[in-house]
Structure 1
């Protein structure tokens, strides 16, 4: 139940960033939906609503396109997954117990997604945006579990309160990086700048690795590997140094 030191959480948080790219590579390759980046899904749903008023009466498109259904599924389950993260507020959001348990829940979500994709029997690659590879109820469930895992990861990363923000949304990190007053100070290690660069590179590598694995073993196998990686991250939280209690000035040891 000891709390980890936020400044010592770099390895697992970098691994979180890696998993964002890894999981999103699977979803985008199959259905062109980002399971972690909900800005795009929110705008897509707004466009779907606007489409209802497009064209003259009697000729309007009132159908709910499958891409919009998948975006809605991702958004709702992402929120539900993030809600699970509030359990940590009661256990202690920075305790080793919660960081281990929460990451294991992410791993279980990823395993459930892998099983759903495997049982669906559908492919891993979409040729066109209007023709996704996943269309069955089981793959919708898979998208839900993938998005929920990233939602939970996001709130856990946010509660640790390091330089990596949520470990998911990198638009903010890009903006903060470009606004960093020490951006071009190349002669020294700058935590506020360099940790953001590490996060960006880690997500990029995660996306690259995910896409390479999909080509080799398919989406289900890739998600299975992701489950194993998240289990290792969970174990890694147990070895993060704890945060020592602050010593009051003027108080010495007897």
Structure 2
């Protein structure tokens, strides 16, 4: 039976019992293999359709490639250059509430205490605290016995401090009064003037009045005017490097003075402590050693702060 089936003539109808898969990309191009007459035409249409799809894909790829290259080129040419890190840092405002900034201005307060204690012991004048100088000026003008007759010293200190505040205040407005660059420049100038006054006091005659005394007072007044002006412009909370009265009053009237996390209280106490410590250093140098040593120590402290402003 098998042999007879194998030798029998084959006909297309025998394929009806075998399931035939659909060989098409889309439902509209399904091949009907039961119809040999139409098979060749359907294969031809399928081949033309496939060639048309390949051509369209190639054209799209060819068109989109230049656009992609153009976009990449555009992005490359419009990417901004990286800014200079040092330049950005120097022109950026300082952070008034940071611990690092607070340390810098506490050191400047220490230098203020040293200088004012030294100048008062030498010349009966302050070069920073102009409130005291104003009182001294009135007492000296009336020849009161409680003060020495040093009107020229007081007048030079007040006038040159005021002129220095005008100069450095307006320059700070133009350059950015709270930027690291301006604070570094102004503090560098102030420090140079302190060292110049130290040299003049050390190499000149030790006189309470006269040209050399006025020269030392003038240099110190200009330098401290620059420092105090910069400190006020930077707006460091509770630490202005010179006026301790306001900090004491604010500390005394603080309702939360004994709170654990009272940052303002801590700043005011540190400010008072720095000023008091500087006064002890200046007074000690004037009493036990050469008063010029106190000015030298203050200049060194201000030099350290100048370097700190750059980092």
Q: TM-score scaled to structure 2, two decimals?
A: 0.65
Gap regions ≥5 residues in structure 1: 55-64, 123-132, 240-254
Q: 1:95 to 1:196 in 2, by over 3 A?
A: same
Any stretches of 5+ residues in structure 2 without a counterpart?
A: 1-90
Cα offset, 1:165, TM superposition:
4.1
Alignment of 1:199-210 (within 5 A): 199-210=271-282
Q: Within 2, Cα distance between the matches of 1:140 and 1:195?
A: 35
1:70 paired with 2:153, answer: yes
Query: Which whole-Å deviations, capped at 9, do the CAs of 1:177-205 have from their partners, x for residues lacking one?
Result: 112221232xx131111101100000111
Matched, 1:160 2:252: no
- Residue 78 of structure 1 and its aligned partner are, at CA, apart by 1.3
The offset of 1:215, in angstroms, is 4.3
Match of 1:119 in 2: 203
Larger CA Rg, structure 1 vs 2: 2
Q: 1:25 to 1:5 in 2, by over 3 A?
A: same
Tell me how large the CA RMSD over aligned residues is: 2.0
Q: Is 106-115 or 160-169 further displaced after alignment?
A: 160-169
More helix by share: 2
Q: Which runs of 4+ in 1 moved over 6 A?
A: none
**Residue 14 of structure 1: aligned partner:** 106
> Number of residues paired by the alignment?
215
SS in 2 for 1:82: helix
Check whether the contact 2:165–2:229 (CA below 8 A) recurs between aligned residues: yes
| Residue in 2 that maps onto 1:106 | 190
* SS of residue paired to 1:85: helix
